Amino acid sequence: MEPTTQLRTILPAVCDLVDQLEPTDLERETPCREFDLADVIDHMMTLGGSFAYLFRGERPPVNSAGAPGDRVPSAEFRRVMDELFEAVQSPGALERTIDAPVGSMPGETFARLVAFDGLVHGWDIARSAGLEYRLPDDVVAAVDEFARGAVTPAMRDGDTFADPTPPPPWATPVDRVAAFSGRMV
């Protein structure tokens, strides 16, 4: 499955989760170590904005989206995710070499890594806020297959990813991907 197909499903699903949040949710703890819900949103907006530049072959500006404060930045979040998706589809995006935070790689590989990261952070948001997070099984399976071949022991530094955790018997496919990333399900 193409990474653009994965992102076409995952990014809007995560945006839909953010749309459901209330300002009081922003201080909730998340399964993402040391990040509350506001931090996860800021992280996704900051990196998503920077990644859009990288996919277009441009140098990202040095800035941050900034913490959302006391409101849920759902419109801004959706705008950043839309820009990221447009950039992934831009001419040459999947063919160019991208100097990503985890090393240089082809754009197609980086897009798959972004899909994995987006899927897991969507799970973080849903889990933290008690929201339902469902993605098509074929999308989850494609992301899972890529992640199991791409995540190296060196990436499991506790920050990027932690050691995998055993998923419980009732775990959904998305739960199993989250457990592989090091989340406790």
**pLDDT per position as a tens digit, 37-78:** 999 999 999 999 999 999 999 998 876 555 556 678 999 999
Is 131 part of any domain? yes
pLDDT at 7: 98
d(C-alpha 151, C-alpha 5), whole Å: 21
pLDDT at 67: 55
Question: 117 is written with which tokens?
Answer: 């990261």
Instruction: Name the domain count of the chain.
Output: 1
Q: What is the pLDDT of residues 101-128, one digit of tens each?
A: 888 999 999 999 999 999 999 999 999 9
Is 163 part of any domain? no
Report the CATH number that the domain containing residue 110 is assigned in CATH: 1.20.120.450
Is 32 part of any domain? yes
pLDDT at 33: 78
Mean per-residue pLDDT, 13-35: 94
Is 141 part of any domain? no
pLDDT at 83: 97
Cβ atoms of 171 and 185 closer than 8 Å: yes
Q: Which helix (H) or strand (E) holds 98?
A: strand 97-100
State the chain's mean pLDDT as an integer. 93
Is 40 part of any domain? yes
Share of the chain above pLDDT 70, in %: 96
pLDDT at 19: 97
pTM of the model: 0.94
d(C-alpha 21, C-alpha 127), whole Å: 12
Is 91 part of any domain? yes
Is 143 part of any domain? no
Is 73 part of any domain? yes
Cβ atoms of 109 and 150 closer than 8 Å: yes
Domain around 64: 3-136
